Structure 1
Amino acid sequence: MNTNAGSGYTLVDFSVTSPAPEWYAVNDGVMGGESRGGPEIVDGQLVFSGQISLENNGGFSSVKSSGHEFDVSAFHTLRLRVKGDGRSYQLRLYTDARYGHSPIAYTAEFPTLAGEWTESVIVISQLSPRFRGRALSGPPLDVEHVEAIGLLLGDKRAGEFELRVEWIRAE
């Protein structure tokens, strides 16, 4: 993997055939909700789509990678090329940090413009630890051992959604 800070580091590029992490869905059904959504790779893009339901205290859908570890210690920002639906999504990084026995997500929101490709930039030092939507005071993000990347929609607005991701880079 390229860890040269001068040229950036592509964490995931869905338009190439190189080995990429597997992606799977984690929806609010784990807590009784009825939202549905998931990942699909289509035409060199990760398509994260579905429907948010507010029934049974629901309201979120997410996808998460598995099978790769990333070292982003030489970088200051993460850049995503996305085409959204006008809603704000969360980028989530996971390490071996736990709250109880469950993983902590290090998160930051990014906006999308309906039907337009944009590049969102997230400062790595501004990712904040969260557990099931609650802010935590720590531990700090272990930038050398990122075990997974995730995306989440949890804006408590019912309805269809779609986010397309072409790539995610560290810079």
Structure 2
Amino acid sequence: MINTLMIFHFTKDAALQNWHVVDDSVMGGVSAGKLGVNDEGHGMFQGHVSLYNNGGFSSIKYTAGNTELKGYSKFVIVLKGDGKAYQFRVKTISSQDYSYIFNFTTTNNWQTLEIPFISMVPSFRGQTLDMANFPGDYLEEIGFLIGNKKAEDFKLAIDNISVQ
């Protein structure tokens, strides 16, 4: 039997208060993302990435509290994208400057991504850091980012995020 810990499961009545949109407006850009729940109960991260005024990304992040991950080895994410590339991002401590990232490309169908902790690379503002990959002991924040160096609309449906 596989041991699974649910980090977040979107439903029609899911509470989204611990989810936050962070767009390039923090640096003067004008990209606009939003997060909501659709009629089927899936999280919908959607919007437009703009390159205007040195912009180029939109992201969402979820504050998960101090979640212990000992005994688990991978993230499992059920989602449906739009054929575009995204990043899944994790922080062991919400206040740290860098994130551990995993790049993936979506299809127009539902997918189950399995992301081994060891595959998550430390990164700060697009630069890989010279330090160990995600240790997988604790988690305080997860998120998704789109920033493909082009202006584009995007739409990412998320069903759930867990660890196994």
Same fold, judged at TM 0.5 (above): yes
Report if aligned partners of 1:63, 1:152 keep a CA contact under 8 Å in 2.
yes
C-alpha distance in 1 between matches for 2:9 and 2:50: 30
In structure 2, how many angstroms separate the alpha carbons of the residues matched to 1:18 and 1:36? 22
- Residue in structure 1 matching 2:113, options 110, 113, 120: 120
Q: Cα distance, 1:170 vs. partner?
A: 0.9
**Cα RMSD, aligned residues only:** 2.2
Shift of 1:145: 2.2
Partner in structure 2 of residue 133 of structure 1: 126
% same residue: 31
Q: Name the TM-score, length of structure 2 as normaliser.
A: 0.88
Q: CA deviation at 1:71?
A: 1.9
Name whichever of 23-32 and 7-16 sits farther off. 7-16
Aligned to 2:103: 109
Match of 2:141 in 1: 148
Check conservation: 1:23, 1:64, Cα contact below 8 A. yes
**Aligned CA distance change for structure 1 residues 29 and 18 (closer, same or farther; 3 Å):** closer
Matched, 1:87 2:84: yes
Please give the residue correspondences for 1:1-171 in structure 2 after superposition, counting only pairs within 5 Å. Answer: 6-15=2-11, 22-42=18-38, 43-96=40-93, 103-114=97-108, 116-138=109-131, 140-171=133-164
Q: Is the partner of 2:56 in helix, strand or coil? A: coil
Q: Cα distance 1:97–1:16, how it changes in 2: closer, same or farther (>3 A)?
A: closer
- Cα distance change, pair 9–47 in 1 and its aligned pair in 2 (3 A): same
Deviations 1:132-160 (A, max 9, x none): 11111126535232111110001112121
TM-score by length of 1: 0.85
Matched-pair contact (CA < 8 Å) for 1:49–1:163: yes
Equivalenced residues, count: 163
Letter in 1 for 2:101: T
The amino acid that maps onto 1:111 is T
**Which structure 1 residue ranges, 5 or more long, are not aligned?**
none
Displacement of 1:37 in angstroms is 0.3
